[in-house]
Structure 1
Amino acid sequence: MTTTPGPREVPPVTLLESRFTQDDLPRLRMLVEQYADHQGLTEPRRSDFIVALDAVAVNAVEHAGGGGTLVLQRSNGHLACHIHDMGPGFSADVIPELAPGLDGQVGGRGLWLAGLLTDELTISAGPGGSMVTLTVELPKAHG
């Protein structure tokens, strides 16, 4: 069996890295929106991306020690926002499959919403906290 190599993976380019607390959230939303616009993410996807990252960042503030670190990266036609916190960790099991409240679960609304508004939501957790990554595909360049 032979395989054909796929397109070459380009290492991620870090656009923004910032620690944050509750007081930093308005500035962080504005900065990410500016970077997303500059990278070509158009409306309404750009606003969806901002709402999703805000939901996850607010979770970090409320449930994981009052803040975290946000890293915004571009790679292979995608924009990824990684939000790391130092909380006790959780898993994707906390995200309701149905609209929150319809499935009997009380929590998970922010993650549920973030999952709806982005192309991919991944969660990893370990002894050093949790990382939630929100990814959206950037529009193809017109040329």
Structure 2
Amino acid sequence: MNDRGEQSSPPGLVSEVGPIVVSAPFTIDELARTRLLVFEAARLAGLAEARGQELVLAVNELVVNVVRHGGGTGTLTTHVGREGLTVEVADTGPGLPETLPSTLPDPGQTSGRGLWLVRTLFPGTRWTSTPRGLTVRVFEPRA
């Protein structure tokens, strides 16, 4: 509460009528924390619980990819704005190939399902890949 008895935003956050941005670095030890941050951002953005859980699943795949293939550390940024929720996952790994398979990998393959899952659940997903790293942005409009 502020000195006038009004509810105030936590430090670093903007009021509920403005954007709420949270950015946090992560390693393998913070995977659970990244899921909680995304779940809370989905709640703040007004996403239905089921859609919020799908977002948590998709972002979990992205952060696990960072840990396994993208240099081991990354940054998770959530942006709750008037239009919806943007979640960005960035790393400093080698990036992605220019083309990615558009179909589900063969059941015998040991990898390749994470990005397929993210793109299936959130078809508007965008990424920027360079030799210095990968940034993936997932957007979900407000309901």
Same fold (TM over 0.5): yes
- What is the TM-score with the length of structure 1 in the denominator? 0.78
Identity %: 33
Q: Does 2:65 correspond to 1:65?
A: no
User: How large is the Cα RMSD of the aligned pairs?
Assistant: 2.1
1:1-143 paired onto structure 2 within 5 Å: 13-91=19-97, 93-94=99-100, 96-101=101-106, 107-139=111-143
Give the 4+ runs in structure 1 shifted more than 6 A.
none
Judge conservation of contact 1:91–1:123 (CA < 8 Å) in 2: no
Q: Deviations over 1:85-133 (max 9, x none)?
A: 0001114623x2222217x976431000011112411110124311011
User: What is the CA–CA distance in structure 1 between the aligned matches of 2:142 and 2:98, rounded to whole Å?
Assistant: 25
Give the C-alpha shift of residue 13 in structure 1: 3.0
Q: Distance in 2 between matches of 1:122 and 1:58?
A: 18
Q: Label 1:81 to 1:117 Cα distance change in 2 as closer, same or farther (>3 A).
A: same
Preserved CA contact (<8 Å) 1:91 1:124 = no
Cα 1:80/1:91, change in 2 over 3 Å: farther
Give a deviation string over 1:7-43, Cα, whole Å, max 9, x none.
xxxxx93521000001101011012201210220112
Report the number of matched residues.
126
The structure richer in strand per residue is 1
Code of the aligned partner of 1:25: L
TM-score (normalizing by structure 2): 0.78
